[in-house]
Amino acid sequence: MPKMKTRRAVAKRFKPVGKDKFKRKRANLRHLLAPKSSKSKARNVKTDYVHESDIKQLKRCLPYA
């Protein structure tokens, strides 16, 4: 059986953490930061985890993670 290919775009955005968990970055920290509150910017700096309903799709894209 041939090796399965990893979706490179997905591999750059998500990192596996433990078993059945993936870490991701939060959005809204690239530009137009002046009107955003410090509270929302601080919240978006923290890492977040992928929702349980999306893990099955991620595992298909990252077969060796």
The domains located in the chain, with CATH, are 8-61 (4.10.410.60)
| pLDDT in the model for residue 38 | 97
Q: pLDDT for 24-55, tens place per residue?
A: 999 999 999 999 999 999 999 999 999 999 99
In the sheet that holds 14-16, the strands lie side by side as 14-16, 22-24, 48-49
| pLDDT in the model for residue 19 | 87
Predicted TM-score (pTM) of this structure: 0.83
3-state SS string over the chain?
A: CCCCCCCHHHHHHEEECCCCCEEECCCCCCCCCCCCCHHHHHHHHCCEECCHHHHHHHHHHCCCC
pLDDT mean over 14-31: 95
